[in-house]
Structure 1
Amino acid sequence: MKLQCDVEVINRMLPTFGLKSRGKGDRALLSIGKHVDKTTQRSNIYLLICTAKDRAGSKFKLKENIEKFFTRFIEEGKATMRLKEPAVDICLSKADANSLKNFLSAARLAHNGSNTDSLPLSNLTPVRARDVEKPKKKLTIVSKKDYPLTSNFPYSLEQLQVSYCKLSRIDMRMLSLKALRKLDLSNNHIKKLPDTIGDLGCLTELILHNNHLESFSEALCLSSLQRTLQHLDLSQNRLQVLPARFCQLRELVNLKLDDNKLMRLPFRVGQLSKMRYLSAAHNQLAVLPSNFRKLTLENLDLFGNPFTQPNPLDHSIRLTFPLTLLELASRAVVDLRIPYGPSIIPFHLCRELEAAKVCDCGRACLSAYIQTTFSMNLHMVSHTVVLVDDMGGTEAPVQRHFCSLVCYCEFLDSCVQRGLR
């Protein structure tokens, strides 16, 4: 039975002499096994603790020698074994929680002296240097020849960069790195993202710059990335659209979409209330969604998009009189925030409700509305704006929707009054 973790052996007599422990553990490999006492020639079960400084290790007898186990924080990979002789506390930390539980169970059986034959005992021998190395937090691979083919990625990695390796898909071994916070797969040939990226529960930064991506999965937008992802770089890919539910990634602070083929931004982009940096230069954007007006950015770059010249008097009317019962009911569901789901109404109606437009008056409209486009100075949503074109402009066309003729006429009146001033 072996366990890799950080260990600090604290002598309980230190306070008697006015001394304190370091308060810091060393990386160690713990083993439980049999050892024959040279004096008595009797075999007993011992705990062997090997560190980088002491690879031969220190032995501690376990049978009837454990005074107490402290396991309050075992789910965090922490525990303490208090021995009777010598009077030490063996403090364990940074261990895998399940492995730690199994190890302590074996230590308890060894202490009781029962069922020792069934214990998975280990040889109490000196360890290799790599067995007691500190967990690796960061790994950078920028050459195909350095890519690990026969060995796994260190389980403790928090930052992983694999670039210029011509990867056509994401290595599934990367998706088992549960501590991963930053994953940089830039400058590869990746065409599709597996939905299981969403299982990386600590991921805050995902960099996919300069790949061959053609889509971004809706499943990723509904995964744990909703709660963790803050930085997303999808620049220099082949994306034409982003899913409507992309705006469920509400922790996003920095979003890079440059040099794709995007025809439009997600219509509810304004829901990304924490976003401060948005870059979508050199795409195929002709107009911005109405929800764009809700953003509060520090830096915005939309240079090199073929924005159309808006005219508020050019409009598209999709109103019917009277409004259909479906339209009235749908508006009421959205406005009153009535819960709904595919178990209550057909799936296609759920999608329509999720795609509801919002009128200037604040009410919802689905398939019956008036649509127009107006020019907005981008400084209204961002402190710093990169020029939209070579002419020095900072304005872009933004869609606007109206739920009725009354709302549209009020908008036209306000346009006329601003023109008179």
Structure 2
Amino acid sequence: MENYTSDSSDSDNTIKTLDFSYLSLDSNVVDEHLNAVKNPDNVETILLHQNRLIYTPASVTRFTNLNVLDVSNCGLVELPDLLGDCPLTSLIAKNNSLCNESLPKSFDSFPTLRELNLSGNRLNDFPEQVLELTGLRYLYLGGNTITRITQDIWKLQRLQILSMGGNRLTEVPSTLGQLITLQALILCDNMLESLPRSIANLKNLKSLLLHKNRLKTLPTEIITLSCLTELSLRDNPLVVRFVSDMTLDPPSLLELAARVIKINDIQYDETDLPRNLNEYLNSGHCCVNPKCKGVFFNNRIEHIKFVDFCGKYRVPLLQYLCSSKCIDLRSNEDKIDRNGIMMQKVLLG
């Protein structure tokens, strides 16, 4: 990344990034530097974090191709409407003194914005005008004092990351389950006691951080989230209940018969059985216990096995077994972890 100083030269023609970060400059000095840039149309990124900016310099609007603006840790008390004159895709204004009244009354003039970071400010309500950013991919509102997530959160249909940890949330609206492109949901360090069942609709969710809440239960449907690789639950009172609530449905006669065929290695081909039975037999999964030759199809035991993870956390691995008797995996935990065979990691702390 190129650094730009107040010295002007012919190199201005190629500068795409202006970096004035960590210089403790005030608004007037930054304004002078920005006005001194000879070719503002070339600039795509301006980094102003860790300065002493009471306000955002109006000279920012000179940069007609500005995509990224970082004004974090500057003591800002306002984000002006004039920022909408720049084609911003990323606006990072974390760790300032912004309240709800400090934000633009409308985000209509920010049609290209894809990332908005307002973490670590003084917001006490979810900023409703953010819902106008229908192309938003990443929204960071952690470290504020927000008490509720708007019911209209579903309007952000392209959202991939929603970070609202470190607020004062007591509930999550069921409409959040309509954000089907969501990949990471950060709700840690709040006051949540439960989650809506609609969370199970987030089929692309990879990371769900819920530590430091008051959760007493989780919707059992959460197990159906096949993409989920990180579920953080530490500092919640729910873990024992979560494990005990995982019930087993007995296998069907079809599954029992299919198991006999696979376990005994009975040969079959497309001419022996109807097509649907062939497909069913070919869909079998081997038990993760290497001491067992068991096979399961639709039915399985969902077992939580506690192991040590890097010496820092207690991590239960969600293991899919063919039988409730098949739980002695202590000598093979490392092998299972390396192969990544049908498991979920639940961070308990």
Normalised to the residue count of structure 2, the TM-score between the two structures is 0.53
Distance 1:393 1:376, change over 3 A: same
Distance 1:232 1:308, change over 3 A: same
Structure 2 segments unaligned to the other structure (5+ residues): 1-9, 14-34, 251-323, 325-349
Q: Which amino acid aligns with 2:182?
A: M
Among 158, 164, 170, the alignment partner of 1:257 is 164
Among 73, 81, 87, the alignment partner of 1:172 is 81
**CA separation in 2, counterparts of 1:259 and 1:388?**
15
Contact in 2 for aligned 1:378/1:396 (Cα 8 Å): no
Contact in 1 for aligned 2:137/2:158 (Cα 8 Å): yes
Distance 1:198 1:237, change over 3 A: farther
Question: How many pairs align?
Answer: 212
Deviations 1:114-162 (A, max 9, x none): xxxxxxxxxxxxxx99554552110011201596646344232110010
Contact in 1 for aligned 2:121/2:143 (Cα 8 Å): yes
1:203 equivalenced with 2:110 (yes/no):
no
1:281 equivalenced with 2:188 (yes/no):
yes
Shift of 1:189: 0.9
Shift of 1:305: 1.0
* Identical pairs, percent: 23
Shift of 1:390: 4.7
Shift of 1:231: 0.4
Looking at secondary structure, tell me which structure has more strand per residue.
1
**CA separation in 1, counterparts of 2:122 and 2:240?**
31
Question: What's the C-alpha RMSD, in Å, of the aligned pairs?
Answer: 3.4
Q: Which amino acid aligns with 1:189?
A: S
Deviations 1:296-332 (A, max 9, x none): 21111111110125xxxxxxxxxxxxxxxxxxxxxxx
1:157 equivalenced with 2:66 (yes/no):
yes
1:304 equivalenced with 2:304 (yes/no):
no
Paired position in structure 2 for 1:386: 231
Deviations 1:40-73 (A, max 9, x none): xxxxxxxxxxxx79x9xxxxxxxxxxxxxxxxxx
Distance 1:377 1:301, change over 3 A: farther
Contact in 2 for aligned 1:198/1:220 (Cα 8 Å): no
SS in 2 for 1:139: strand
**CA separation in 2, counterparts of 1:145 and 1:231?**
25
Distance 1:131 1:241, change over 3 A: same
SS in 1 for 2:229: strand
Normalised to the residue count of structure 1, the TM-score between the two structures is 0.45
Paired position in structure 2 for 1:186: 94
What is the 5 A alignment of 1:7-406?
130-132=37-39, 134-142=41-49, 143-144=51-52, 149=57, 151-153=59-61, 154-177=63-86, 179-192=87-100, 193-221=103-131, 223=132, 225-226=133-134, 228-296=135-203, 297-309=205-217, 375-376=219-220, 378-381=222-225, 382-390=227-235
Q: Which amino acid aligns with 1:165?
A: C
